[in-house]
Every structure is written in structure tokens, then in C-alpha cells.
Amino acid sequence: MRFTWGVLACFAGFSTTVSAWSTLRPGSFSYNRDQFLLNGKPYQIIGGQMDPQRIPPEYWTQRLKMARAMGLNTIFSYLYWNLIEPSPGDWNFEGRNDVAQFFRLAQEEGLKVVLRPGPYICGERDWGGFPSWLSQVPGMAVRQNNGPFLAAAKSYIDRLGKELGQLQVTQGGPILMAQLENEYGSFGTDKVYLAALAKILRDNFDVFLYTNDGGGQSYLEGGQLHGVLAVIDGDSKSGFAARDKYVTDPTSLGPQLNGEYYITWIDQWGSDYPHQQISGSEGAIADAIADLDWTLGGNYSFSIYMFHGGTNFGFENGGIRDNGPLAAVITSYDYGAPLDESGRPTDVYFRLRETISKYVAAGSIPGVPTLPARAAIPEFDLEPVASLFAIGCEASKEADNPISMDAMGQSYGYVMYEHRVAKAISGNVTIGDGARDRAMIYVNGVRVGVVDTIYKVPATVRVTLKEGDTLQILVENLGRVDVRQRLRDQVKGIVGNVAVGGRILRKWSTYSIPLSTVPSSLSANSKGYTVKKNNSPVFYTGSFDLPKGASSGPDTDTFISVPKGVKGVLWINGINMGRYWTIGPQQSLYVPGSFLKETNEVVLLELEPQPDVRLSAEGISERKWFNSPDPDAP
């Protein structure tokens, strides 16, 4: 077992503090053609991806202990720029963004770290981790040799350097190396851009850089940069062969590393899209184990993507789209990972642990910590209390044409567009260059249809409007696209004009509805609300108590289910748990027990409330994945 000074300090009866980091012994991490070298000795990376910003900080240590107990020696972590700098120059390194603390905890558990800082990270995050305000910077063009983009990226990476520089292996910390960009060969071939970004990283970090690309010719040739180690992801056997065939620059060659070894894949909302997992399938698990066994036996390095996925809390998920429909990523990022969304080991975890144990020193893998069972919360009622349109709208602007979400200074949530009809008109509603991403259409507050881009051919909505009628369009951002060419333009809301029957409508009021917090006026409107047919979205409230004798923590982790809800958002104690949607495959929201109190206040926004349906919720201890028909399917 390799002891760091931090681990030795713990054994000696005292813990490493922030002020003591400067006393840690500097180390080195390098490589030759065949091996990584830690302090001059061979080091096989047995890694797994785990992103701290998807995990409650109260659970970081437990998740890291579970990684070490599966046999991992290295954690790979993306950093999400959009959470760290939500507005220009507004830095947030608290809570889930205290990534330096996560890395310190990793070192205390005997784990090394590979830093994947972006600025672009993909990861099925909103716009690949880019902050939405980038789209409003004049002259901005992401992921290329563009002055405004490189200036913004430099500011971000410079700030990371101040936060994380002391945690590099060269200064006694756990960070071994840092990734340059992310799968750039899937996007472009701009070597001038890559070189400029590499310089920014090297100005802040003195560990070596690497690139990570798919195992194909165009990916590797596009993403490789002189002087930077080239690494593949995907299938190890074909990817390793492709790396040595298509990367001919000797300065980019070195030991083989699969930077993202996929065990399963992502989940997206859809009536016909099942949960992606291999747990419970002996054949699928055997195939994954065989691949990993081959990789370990060849003395190659790898990182399992994901070892632990975590959660897309709030509106943080991204989307995937080329020329077809939007694949909106679900709230859960369980990913069918060995360590599930709640931090419990699966059958895959134990099989991987068994395989890894064959290739490491006997006794070097600690025992698997035990965790309590998750809690069950009895069913509790949710009462309708107020219309979203009455209390949810914030700032508004008047203009001839609808204003985009981003131009309103808004990143996530909803935008409502309102037009007062001056002259009778009828026909199909057409929305700019297409809804971005889901448009609910109302006439005088009554829902008349839904246009949703998760479908290849979204529904057509026809309206008949009289003079004096009010046309309202509520647009939901389902997640900015985070891959390939579509991510160049990820402005949300309505971009362009709205027409009815081919005639463009002028004079619109645009209302911002970010729902970054529960509306403060909600409590003042809690005397009850009567839901009507095709009602506008409605807030519901309720509460539940923890089981007697229970306290905040893993023993009260649960999955909240709203069985009769159609689509909406759930807050508990003011924390946005994320979206729910009847179409699945996710039918419950993970609620960490660390978020809970003795009595817990629940707010739910139901986008499609039903007049004769009593809404309730419950906490289930065992999650169920399944799909349901979409009531709004075209």
C-alpha cells in the first residue's frame, strides 16, 4: 500500500489540515512509452469517474471510501464551469463547488486524482459545462481560436489554478495530471486553439497534460496536440490499436490509458427508452469483466465511466442532439454505475472488486463499508395552492418579438411569452426556428397543446384567436445540448418570431421564470387553489416527518415518487431535487437524507395539473425504473 503523508498523519492520530498542506512532501508523476511513473516507480491507473458537483458534500467521504474499497487508486473528476462561475466574475467554491476539499478528502482516503477541468467537459451537463452567459458575449465562438472565448476560459482556469495549484502531486497533493479540452476530435481540428488552451493550463498547473478522444482516426487526429499525451475512450482493444496507428507524433505517445471505460450508458426521458444498466444481467456483467480483466492483465490503465454518477440536481442536466430530436438527459445520473446514485454498491461493484483484487497486492484493498437501508416515507398529500403564472413570473420585457431566455439574463427554468391579440386570426402556431425545448401553448390561460422537441416530428398546435384574446407560450429549457456541432448555438427560449397561420405576431411580453428558488410569495397564497381542465401550471405544497428516531444522513436517504404527477419539479426544504416526468425511465427522485430535517416542507410545480386527480407523494426505499405513455405525444 502506498502511504501519503496525509494518510500517515491520520494513522498517527491527527488529521491533515488546510494549513498543513505546504508541509507535504513534493512528488512527481511522469511516463515513458509503456508506463506511468509515480515518484519514479511504475503506477497502473485503476481509476473511476466521480464528479464532486453531482454529490452532496456530506457524502463525499463515504463515496471515496467506496471507491477505495472497490480497488480504485485514482479518481477522475470533471469540473463544471457553469456552477463555479454562474455569472461573469461571480466565483462560487462553496458546497458542492468546494472541489479542493473533495480532492483533499480523496488524498486522505489514499486516492490520487486526475483533473478534468474543461472549460468544455461534455458529461451530459447543460451546454457541456459552459456557463450560459457566454452566449451573450459579443463575438463569442466556443471551442475555437476565438478571442472572447479564450479570454473567458483563461479567467476560469486562472481561478482554478489559485484554488487547486497546491493540490498537485508536485506540491504534495493528489493531482497527477490534467486533461486538455475534452474529446475535441469529435468537434474540430483547430490546433491553434488547442495550443492556446494548453498554454493557459500550463501557466497554472505544472503536472503534464493529456487529451482524451474516441478510438477512431478522425477523433484522434483532430484532438491530438504536439507534446501532449494522447489517450482514448470507449473500447480498449480497438481504441489502443487506433491510438498507436493514427497518432504518429512521438511526443503524444506513451502508456495506454482508457480515459472513459464505459460499463453502461446515459439515460434520457422517453416512453420507449429503458434505464441503462448491466446490473442483474450475468451475460452483460461477464462481458464487462472480461474486458477489464484483459486491460488489467496487459498492464494498461483505465478509468471506469462512471464509477459513481450522482445526480443532476435542479435544472443541471444537458441534452444530446444532432439533426434529430432532443435527447433530454434525466435528473438522475445513476448511469447504471457500480456505485448507484445513493452510494450503495451493486452486484457489478462486487464483481469489479473481485477482478481488480487479482492484480493488486494482497490486503491492499480495504473492506467494503456497510450502509443502512434507505428509508420509506409514508404517502403524504400535496395540495394545490397557486398558479405559476400568478406568482412565478419575475422580470418582464416588452418587445416586438419574443426575447430569448439568455437575453433575459436567465440560465435555467422557464420563460413565458404573452401576446394580446389585436385582430382575429386562426391557424397553426409556428415558433421561431423550433421550440427550445418544450413549449406549452395557452389561450386565455387554458392549455391547448404542447410542442416538444424530444420528438422527431413535434406536435402541431392549431389555435383560433379572437380580438382581445391572450396567447401564452411557456417554454421550458430541457437542457442545453452538450455534444458535437449543435453546442455552438445553445440559446434557449424562443429564438425568432411566432406566427399563427403564417402571420407573424408582433408585440410580446417576455416573463423570466428561472425558479432558482421557490417563489417567496408562495406562502402568502397557500389558502388553496381550484384546478380546472387544461389549467396553467400549479404549485402544490405538503410536508412529511422523518421516521421516529431517524436523523439526517444515509439512514434517511429515500426516493420520492409522485405517482399521479405528469411533469414538473420538486423542492424539499427549498432545495431543487430536479425534474420528474411520467414518461420515464426515471419514476422517482433521489433525496439524500443529509437534505432532510425532522419535519420537511415540500413544494411541487406540476406543469399539467388534472382537475380530478389528488396528488400525493411518498418516499420509497427501493427505486423502480419503468416507462409510461406520454399524454402529450404527437
pLDDT higher than threshold 80 for residue 10: no
Burial class (CB in 10 A: 0-12, 13-18, 19+), 500: buried
The mean pLDDT value of the chain amounts to: 94
Query: CA–CA separation, 243 vs 239, rounded Å?
Result: 6
Instruction: Give φ, ψ of 312 to 5 degrees.
Output: -90, 75
pLDDT, mean of residues 356-381: 96
Q: Which three cell numbers stand for residue 299?
A: 498492464
Strand, coil or helix: 304: strand
Task: Identify which of 49, 103, 106, 112 has the alpha carbon closest to the alpha carbon of residue 76.
Answer: 49
- Cα 383 to its chain centre, rounded Å, is 31
What is the mean predicted confidence (pLDDT) over 258-277?
A: 96
The rounded percent of the chain whose pLDDT value lies above 70 is: 96
Region 193-197: mean pLDDT is 98
Q: In the predicted model, is pLDDT for residue 240 greater than 90? A: yes
Helices (H) and strands (E) in the chain, counts: 11, 32
Q: Tell whether the torsion through CA atoms of 13, 17, 19 and 23 is positive or negative.
A: positive
Instruction: Compute how many other C-beta atoms are within 10 angstroms of the C-beta atom of residue 367.
Output: 7
pLDDT at 549 (0 to 100): 82
Maximum separation of any 2 CA atoms in the chain, in Å: 81
Query: What is the pLDDT at residue 520?
Result: 85
Q: Which band of pLDDT confidence, cut at 50, 70 and 90, is reported for residue 433?
A: confident
Tens digits of residue pLDDT in 474-509: 999 999 999 877 788 899 999 999 999 999 999 999
State the average pLDDT over residues 110-134: 97
pLDDT of 593 reads: 97
**pTM (2 d.p.):** 0.94
Element (H, E) at 283: helix 282-297
Give yes or no for a contact between 119 and 129, defined as CB atoms under 8 angstroms apart.
yes
Q: How far apart are CA 539 and CA 605, in angstroms?
A: 4
Instruction: Provide the Cα torsion 159, 163, 164, 165; round to 10°.
Output: 80
User: Higher confidence at residue 21 or residue 12?
Assistant: 21
Lowest mean pLDDT among 163-172, 202-211, 523-532, 534-543: 523-532
Indicate the pLDDT class of residue 12, thresholds 50, 70 and 90. very low
For the stretch 280-293, pLDDT in tens is 999 999 999 999 99
From the list 468, 455, 397, 460, the residue with the least C-alpha distance to 430 is 460
Q: In whole angstroms, what is the distance from residue 117 CA to residue 114 CA?
A: 10
Across 466-537, the runs of DSSP E, i.e. the strands, are 470-476, 498-500, 503-504, 508-513
Q: Which residue has the higher pLDDT, 126 or 11?
A: 126
Q: Are 604 and 443 in contact (CB under 8 A)?
A: no
Residues acting as catalytic residues:
183, 260
Q: How many Å apart are CA 591 and CA 569, to the nearest integer?
A: 13
Sheet holding 538-545, edge to edge: 383-387, 538-545, 599-606, 567-572, 575-581
d(CA 576, CA 564): 20
Check pLDDT > 60 for residue 278: yes
Give me the residues paired with residue 261 across strands: 304
Least confident of 194-208, 321-335, 578-592: 321-335
- Give the pLDDT confidence score for residue 526 in this predicted structure: 67
Q: 368-404: buried (b, 16+ CB within 10 Å) or exposed (e) per residue?
A: eeeeeebbebeeeebbbbbbbbeebbeeeeeeebbbb
pLDDT at 22: 39
Mean local confidence (pLDDT), 340-358: 98
Percentage with pLDDT > 90 across the chain: 90
